[in-house]
Amino acid sequence: MDDRAAPFMEHLRELRNCLRNAVIALAVSVVITFGFSEQLFVLLARPLISAIKESGLQAQLKFGSLVEPFWVYFELSLYAGIFLASPFIFHQLWRFIAPGLYQKEKRVALPFSIFSALFFMGGAAFCYSLVLPAAFRFFLSYSSQNVSQMNDVLGFISINLADPLAIEPSLFMQQYLDLTTKMLLAFGLVFEMPLLFFFLSYVGLVTHRSLWKFNKYAAVLSFVVGAILTPGPDVFSQLLMAGPMIVLYNVSILVAWVVTKRREAAERTDATAVAK
């Protein structure tokens, strides 16, 4: 066998072993989390339950088919299993790529990965604690026990129909799971922005000066991204995402300023040492 093919085959075997171990860890984690799937779903539904109670409605979620609860619980168990197995999966990934990195890259890659996970969880926690309750309260405010009684419309028109007309939500398990997971994922990704610009400024692709010049365009772009990432077409959800994005972009400018200043100082020191 060609000597050059031997290291390649070893890398393939190592990749196979890492993937196998990661899949086994994920499967075990899903089995564990499926045993707590109902509790996890109730935990996920807490923002909705609070908003429904504040609206004076009865907290309930329906399902449209016999198999929907099972698949909802399984899908939620899969998400939770990925989160539970993520430290081991990351360990397998690091075990595969670490031998090919330089020492400088190793010093940055591991903290970068750890902080990436922390920022993502911070974004999801921000969405769960603040965004989802506010969004649910806003949307449920359109429910009404009797919408036919509309007095003093525009200050001079009075509408009173004899028959009552109630507007109440019919919420389904799968739709709620899809909505919340998309929102949590979107905010988790958005909160990675400071870390992304840290990396870009670290390698010299951007500076705080270029980011500041782009600031006014970033504000407009935040609303565009908010419209794309939020699952609904409503302006309220877009505002809830665009606001944090604008704040995080300006935080990223500060991060880039610190990194750029240190990098430029190091480059001047190296240039001085070469000149001598």
pTM value is 0.76
Residue 94 has pLDDT above 90, yes or no: no
Under 8 Å CB-to-CB from 212, ≥6 apart: which residues? 253
* Angle of the 5-34 helix axis to the 37-44 helix axis, nearest 10: 80
For residue 160, give the 3-state DSSP assignment.
Answer: strand
Q: What angle do CA 98, 102, 103 make, to 5 degrees?
A: 90
Q: How high is the pLDDT of residue 262?
A: 84
Q: Residue 163 is encoded by which pair of tokens?
A: 């028959």
Q: How high is the pLDDT of residue 33?
A: 94
For 154-201, how does the pLDDT look when each residue is reduced to its tens digit (9 = 90+)?
Answer: 455 555 555 566 777 788 999 999 989 988 888 888 888 888 888 888
The answer to whether 127 touches 184, Cβ cutoff 8 Å, is: yes
Average pLDDT of the chain to the nearest whole number: 81
The answer to whether 29 touches 92, Cβ cutoff 8 Å, is: no
Residue 78 has pLDDT above 90, yes or no: yes
Q: Give mean pLDDT, residues 117-124.
A: 87
Greatest Cα pair distance in the chain: 94
Q: How high is the pLDDT of residue 71?
A: 94
Q: State which of 1-10, 101-110, 244-253 shows the largest mean pLDDT.
A: 244-253
How many residues belong to the chain? 276
Give the integer Cα–Cα distance in Å for 200 and 217: 19
Distance of CA 58 to the CA centre of its chain: 29
